[in-house]
Chain A
Amino acid sequence: MSLLLSVQDLRKTYGRLIGCTNICFDLFVGEVIGPVGESGSGKTTLLNCLSGHLPPDQGQVIFDTRSDGPRNTVTMSEPARRMLARTDWAFVQQHARDGLRMNVSAGGNVGERLMALGARHYGDIRLQAEDWLTRVEIDASRIDDRPATFSGGMQQRLQIARNLITGPRLVFRDEPTGGLHVSVQARLLDMLRGLVRDMGLLAMIVTHDLAVVRLLADRLMVIKDGRVIETGLTDQVLDDPQAAHTQLLVSSVLQV
């Protein structure tokens, strides 16, 4: 297994408040890691620091880029980071509306990354967009419809298609199933698992829903007040939690 992402001593503060601090971990190809924790614990701050949306105060994020090998994404230039964000990375937002262009058709949304990378053949862009719509279980005949006419679950799937079309190596996901009905959640999770397996994606899934991480993540990272308090394999952490806070989290899950 090769190392794809290596985070060392990452720290981000908001004035006196600690966003996250002393974060160290490694990720390997094909792995799915899930930072978990209660609201305000620093999960999203961590995700934003790693994906280049927020500049961290200290620390290193070494990412194995497809073109130039391992690079520190914290110190690289903004255009290079944006390039990574369009090619090797994908960021799926919690609210699909934040990640989609609502006044642009589904095909335009899915094709945007291709066009940003220089695709200039209308027919090709359209074919690929149709292919991806089918992969995320959206009827290809809706390619010219605007996302505003889609249901919440469809918008979320469209957002996934839009992000995965360039074959990213690392996918950041913030609360992938937030605000969706459980039956829709189940299908979305199913589809995600399939995509992660087929494409060999490395993914980082931030959620407070432990049932979701049990399904999707290989490893967990429990965060409290911006610090990692426990890490381990998903089953191990969820079935035999060591830290007091993890025990509290696990025992708070509603058993149906």
Chain B
Amino acid sequence: MTEEAYNFAYLNEQTKRMIRRAILKGLATPGYQVPFASREMPMPYGWGTGGVQVSAATLTPEDTFKVIDQGADDTTNAVSIRKFVERTAGIATTTKTSDAKVIQTRHRIPEAPLTEDQILIYQVPIPEPLRFLEPRETETRKMHSREDYGLMHVKLYEDIAQHGHIATPYAYPVRVEGRYLMDPSPIPKFDTPKMEMAAIQLFGAGREQRIYALPPYTKVTPLDFEDPFDPSKAPHPCGLCGAEDAYLDEVITDDTGRRMFVCSDTDYCETRREAGHRGKDAA
């Protein structure tokens, strides 16, 4: 099939309109999960079908697009979605966070602060933060409408009782503007405080058929007990660029157990190394 056979960004215009309506509704009610008629995409569920549909409805021909997967631009998921958008929309792509207008992400927020003219789109596997506590959708909807969120604290209480601390290192539940309880998608707890940002944040769950959104500067509070929220990360600097403030991946380097910690945000790490920063493992 030729590239011309595709409508701009793969989806037809009616579908994009439907998705844009869901996005607008989501932006008007921050944190509320808007149902939408999710389409079959040419990739398996769990690989970002929701994020891709939201991206497709958001992109314009002038935009520059960036995709990250666990912070990295060069992993399978990121590469294939970037190629898909290049082929079906024919727009410019980049790996530079600062050059991108629309950034689709899986499980990370870029380290560099985003600006007001950028949009961050999350791939969400399970949009309902209460799902593992209450399996019935009819019940969780009622709980949301009544702000009946005591159950979530029972879960956190159980964490402390059994592990001595809140053992939820990622997808840490947040409260949006003191109203909706929201799943921030499986980003690490470290990224949660960054969600109060200048950029628009959109969340797409393809299999679960839900879209939700955060307008710029929306107040996002991690649920917590009165002991302070701890955005944990590995206690090391980055081995390549020496960054102390970035979220790190642990990389095993040989069979004898040697390992190094490197930034999970590849663009951030490269930008720092170009600026002359060096970590202890840099060649």
Query: Is B245 interfacial (CB-CB < 8 Å)?
Result: no
The listed residue (B150, B162, B225, B227) touching A144 by CB distance below 8 A is B162
Q: Is the CB of A111 within 8 A of B225?
A: no
Q: Is the CB of B151 within 8 A of A107?
A: no
The complex places the Cα of A78 from the Cα of B142 at a distance, in Å, of 10
Pick out which of these stretches binds chain A: B152-160, B195-203, B210-218.
B152-160
The complex places the Cα of A113 from the Cα of B154 at a distance, in Å, of 9
Q: Is the CB of A116 within 8 A of B158?
A: no
The complex places the Cα of A112 from the Cα of B162 at a distance, in Å, of 16
Q: Is the CB of B158 within 8 A of A105?
A: yes
Residues of A within 8 A of B154 (CB): 101, 104, 108, 111-112, 115
The listed residue (B149, B150, B161) touching A107 by CB distance below 8 A is B161
Write the nearest CB–CB distance from B81 to chain A, whole angstroms.
37
Q: Is the CB of A79 within 8 A of B162?
A: no
Q: Is the CB of A144 within 8 A of B161?
A: yes
Q: Is the CB of A111 within 8 A of B157?
A: yes
Q: Which residue of B has the minimal Cβ distance to A114?
A: B150
Query: Is B4 interfacial (CB-CB < 8 Å)?
Result: no
> 1/0 contact trace for A85-116 toward B, CB 8 Å?
01000000000000001001101100111011
How extensive is the interface on chain B, given as a class? 10 to 19
Residues of B within 8 A of A111 (CB): 154, 157
Residues of B within 8 A of A120 (CB): 153, 224-226
Write the nearest CB–CB distance from B158 to chain A, whole angstroms.
5
**In the complex where A82-B148, A116-B150, A120-B153 touch, is A104 in contact with B224 (Cβ < 8 A)?**
no
Query: Is A14 interfacial (CB-CB < 8 Å)?
Result: no
The complex places the Cα of A125 from the Cα of B150 at a distance, in Å, of 13
Q: Is the CB of B160 within 8 A of A122?
A: yes
Residues of A within 8 A of B224 (CB): 120
Q: Is the CB of B227 within 8 A of A122?
A: yes
Q: Is the CB of B150 within 8 A of A115?
A: yes
Query: Is B258 interfacial (CB-CB < 8 Å)?
Result: no
Query: Is B136 interfacial (CB-CB < 8 Å)?
Result: no
Query: Is A117 interfacial (CB-CB < 8 Å)?
Result: yes
Q: Is the CB of A105 within 8 A of B161?
A: yes
Q: Is the CB of B157 within 8 A of A115?
A: yes
Q: Is the CB of B226 within 8 A of A116?
A: no
Query: Is A121 interfacial (CB-CB < 8 Å)?
Result: yes
The complex places the Cα of A143 from the Cα of B148 at a distance, in Å, of 25
> 1/0 contact trace for B118-160 toward A, CB 8 Å?
0000000000000000000000000000111111011001101
Q: Is the CB of B157 within 8 A of A125?
A: yes
Write the nearest CB–CB distance from A52 to chain B, whole angstroms.
13
Residues of A within 8 A of B227 (CB): 122
Write the nearest CB–CB distance from A185 to chain B, whole angstroms.
30
**In the complex where A105-B162, A122-B225, A144-B162 touch, is A117 in contact with B150 (Cβ < 8 A)?**
yes
Write the nearest CB–CB distance from A46 to chain B, whole angstroms.
24
For window 4-43 of chain A, which residues contact chain B by CB distance below 8 Å?
none
Q: Is the CB of A112 within 8 A of B151?
A: yes
The complex places the Cα of A117 from the Cα of B150 at a distance, in Å, of 7
Residues of B within 8 A of A79 (CB): 146-147
The complex places the Cα of A107 from the Cα of B224 at a distance, in Å, of 18
Q: Which residue of A has the minimal Cβ distance to B157?
A: A108
Residues of B within 8 A of A104 (CB): 154, 158
Give chain B's interface residues, CB within 8 Å of chain A.
146-151, 153-154, 157-158, 160-162, 224-227
CB pairs A–B below 8 angstroms (9 shown)? A79-B146, A86-B150, A112-B150, A112-B154, A113-B150, A116-B151, A117-B150, A120-B153, A125-B157
19 further contact pairs, Cβ within 8 A, besides A115-B157, A121-B226: A79-B147, A82-B148, A104-B158, A105-B158, A105-B161, A108-B154, A111-B154, A115-B153, A116-B148, A116-B150, A116-B151, A116-B153, A120-B225, A122-B160, A122-B226, A125-B157, A126-B161, A143-B161, A144-B162
